[in-house]
Amino acid sequence: MIFKIYYQDTKIRNPKREDTHSMYLEADSEPEARIQAEGNTEFNIEYIEELSDKALEYEKQNPDFKIAKF
């Protein structure tokens, strides 16, 4: 499954919507995706969303689409 992870670059500042970024991870479950993201980055994880097949196809249209590997 592919998950879209919304995050802030730092845990120090309060989150601002304008500073939210996203990355994509392949994992077997949402908890596993969170463990991977939190264990391999210093990001403030805001939300994790499992992408449906249609949503994944839409996201792949973005030229910057890349699945993160840790």
Profile the chain (70 residues) by mean pLDDT over runs of 10 residues: 95 87 96 95 95 97 93
Domain membership flag for residue 47: yes
**Residue 16's pLDDT is what?**
87
Domain membership flag for residue 65: no
pTM of the complete model beyond 0.85:
yes
For residue 53, count other CB atoms closer than 10 A to its CB.
8
Domain membership flag for residue 52: yes
Distance of CA 56 to the CA centre of its chain: 13
**Residue 10's pLDDT is what?**
85
Q: Supply angle C-alpha 52, 1, 34, rounded to 5.
A: 110
Range of the domain at 29: 2-13+20-60
- How far is residue 24's CA from residue 8's CA, in Å, rounded to a whole number? 14
